[in-house]
Structure 1
Amino acid sequence: MTADPSVPGADPRPAGAVLDAHLVVDRGTFRLDLPLTIGPGEVVALLGPNGAGKTTALRALAGLIPLTDGHLSIEGRHLDDPARRLWTPTEQRPIGVVFQDYLLFPHLTALDNIAFGPRRQGLDRHRARQRAADWLARVGLAEHARRKPRHLSGGQAQRVALARALAVEPALLLLDEPLAALDARTRLDTRAQLQHHLAGHCGATLLVTHDPIDAVVLADRLVIIENGQVVQEGDVATVTARPRTDYVARLVGLNLYRGHADGHRVLLTDGFHLVTGDQHAGDVFVAFAPSAVALHPGRPDGSPRNTWPATITGIQRHGDNLRVQLGGPVTVAADITPAAAAQLNLAPGRTLWAAVKAAETRVYPAAAAPADVAAEP
């Protein structure tokens, strides 16, 4: 049954949503304008470059800054609505937060850090500590109950912070770069543990992160924002297969271009064409992996349909390979092995030839699909 929005207290959420929000926040010349819904048990990752508005969104959800416009409801309860002069303090919101630096109370033990939230909710000391002890056991730290934060490792502190957030049984769990402070090995182990605990969380979860691996492993759905607005949204497979902005393309490791297709040819810019394996008509995106770009000291013969002279603008280590940044009629990244790099005698400023086979390109319409929200790259 659809709720009647004219009835006070009626639930305006899409069916099944735990969080129904339209976050509008003006901060000087910057405006966040972010529609956001999250269903029960769903993990949504919010990604974007620095300054995109991720932290502003998290702070608005937590009640640390008020909305300028829009609305915020959790489980049908209206928490923020500037038009009605409604704003709910942080401590009265059904949320749990894991901050990037964890922000554990330094004077409290791990047990009492976790018990703090339930105590604030009205549980007596004994019951709050029982719940905290249960959560310590769930995160594998039962023997660390009496340790204070300074005696915990980074991974242990992260697990205590997660247990503290979940101990209040939040309808909405907010994770602010929860793995960013960890070293690579600890991060790998802790990510797996976090995935397990999120799978058991019945409420909604918003993960704010810069790390595409964290997002892909932990999230059911990705929401990408740039300059305060959604530029792409969808499940992991959709977003990674069809990026719609340069930021998203870099995030998933693809070269991305926008152009106009006429059959197998796509006009990109200044008369430069790419030949593609698929036929299209109209405005399209063309994407291909850096590993699809072959580099040659001279113009290659043979099968590649796309060749052009390019100038090396940078060289970085990328896993076991080298990533070569190239300028020319189009900017492109190429991944090559160290052995190939030695044969090519690579150096910034050197000119060589780039080649991409038509079959290695991926072409899709520039118009937004239902799961996407497109923006100009």
Structure 2
Amino acid sequence: MTLSAHLVVTRSHFHLDIELEVAAGQVVALLGPNGAGKTTALRALAGLTALSGGRISLDGEALHTMAAERRPIGVVFQDYLLFPHLSALDNVAFGPRCRGASRTEARRGAAAWLERVGLAGHATMRPRQLSGGQAQRVALARALAVQPRLLLMDEPLAALDAHTRLEIRSQLRRHLADFGGATVLVTHDPLDAMVLADRLVVIENGAVVQHGTPAEVARRPRTDYVARLVGLNLYRGTAAGQQVSVGEVLFSVAEHLEGPAFVAFPPSAVALYRTRPDGSPRNLWQATIEGVERHGDSVRIHLAGPIAAAADITPAAVADLDLTPGQRIWASVKATETHVYPF
């Protein structure tokens, strides 16, 4: 492992206690709601927030005893924090100069980094003359110019508009693939995490609640926050064979399981009916419509009742069913559309 850390930070109303392992060449994304502790963890790794306990080891070397300026890390902040009075070239050269490189050597290296991020023609420009995407790439070049063994990125795409974000996300993925050190990325955007990261670590209330590859986390969410993040309805219940009890609702499922279990299914799997369907459809419950909103090309119906759920249906179906908030409705989901796994 390149990075092995146990981060403990205690404040008056908050306690962070997480462990991180990041291999060389790997990108790990820290995900979590606001106030979960993501940025606190990143600042602790950078030496900008003091540890209350734990340790930080990089390639077997203790970092937590080092001053922030001596740690072999590069940082890309959310607002980039480029020096407004310096050109793009001198912003990138700043780190190597601080570490003892001559002015000529630092500027030569900075020029090479600007070329690598596609900004060779912008070397003389100051930050106010750069677009958001260009400023992000200068900030990345500045972080990498010091040849760090650990790269820390705090919401690196948050300041960009949607169109620029798409382009820069793709470029950033390529740059991170070429970086041989460990990378820790903080983001609240699931798409950024899924595209950029090799592994996800989900933090809630200062603790790790789930970790794994993006595919593993998306397929088997373990908290309501993660379920919302990946767009699934998630419930905790008790399994007995191919049935799972969730409160008053008994789900028939495809998998066989015993004991505490999660049941998950996408909103697109939920079918809605004005009246109780004929026959004996499984996984059927009555609900009240709490809200109706556009969701991409579909319409999301928020349901309350014995279980809360989201259902995605077409605008034509909304009109045909004449759905309105407060209305009673029947909902169902096929057993083959559910996914069940141990609690």
TM-score of the superposed pair, with normalisation by structure 1: 0.89
Secondary structure of 1:267 counterpart:
strand
Alpha-carbon offset, residue 347 of structure 1: 1.8
2:285 corresponds to: 308
Q: What is the deviation of 1:88?
A: 1.9
Task: Give 1:169-248 correspondences, 5 Å limit.
Answer: 169-248=147-226
1:351 to 315, 320, 328: 328
TM-score w.r.t. length of structure 2:
0.98
After superposition, the CA RMSD in angstroms is: 1.0
Counterpart of 1:191 in 2: which secondary structure? helix
Match of 2:53 in 1: 69
Q: Distance in 1 between matches of 2:338 and 2:176?
A: 36
Residue 8 of structure 2 contacts residue 54 of structure 2 at CA under 8 Å; is this kept in 1? yes
Q: Take 2:95 and 2:281, find their aligned partners in 1: how far apart are those partners?
A: 62
The match for 2:298 is: 321
What does residue range 79-98 of structure 1 map to in structure 2 within 5 Å? 79-80=63-64, 87-98=65-76
**d(CA) in 2 for partners of 1:338 and 1:94?**
54
Contact 2:249–2:285 (8 Å) recurs in 1: no
Q: Which residue of 2 aligns with 1:136?
A: 114
- 2:7 paired residue number: 23
Cα distance, 1:58 vs structure 2: 0.7
Deviation at 1:29, TM superposition (A): 2.3
2:101 to 101, 123, 133: 123
Shift of 1:316: 2.1
1:178-230 Cα deviation digits (max 9, x unpaired): 01111111000000000000000000000100011011111000000111000
Partner residue, 1:364: 341
2:145 aligns with 167
Count of residue correspondences: 343
Contact persistence 2:249–2:283 (CA under 8 A): no
1:236 partner letter: P
Q: CA deviation at 1:350?
A: 1.2
For 1:301 and 1:158, locate their aligned partners in 2 and report how far apart those are by CA, in whole Å. Answer: 58
Q: Tell me the distance in 1 between the aligned counterparts of 2:67 and 2:295.
A: 46
CA distance in 2, matches of 1:250, 1:281: 26
Q: Structure 2 stretches of 5 or more lacking a match? A: none
The aligned counterpart of 2:239 is 261
User: 1:123-157, CA deviations, whole angstroms, 9 ceiling, x for partnerless residues?
Assistant: 00001001100010001000000000000000000
| CA distance in 1 between partners of 2:310 and 2:300 (Å) | 7
Cα deviation for residue 305 of structure 1 reads 1.0
Please say which of residues 278-287 and 203-212 is displaced more in the overlay: 278-287
Cα drift, residue 352 of structure 1: 0.8
Residue 278 of structure 1 is matched in structure 2 by 255
| Regions of 4+ moved over 2 Å | 301-304
Question: Gaps spanning 5+ residues in structure 1: where?
Answer: 1-16, 81-86, 367-377
| Partner SS state of residue 42, structure 2 | helix
Q: Secondary structure at the match of 1:107?
A: coil
Corresponding residue of 2:37: 53
Superposition deviation, residue 303 in structure 1: 7.3
Quick one: distance in 2 between partners of 1:300 and 1:142?
65
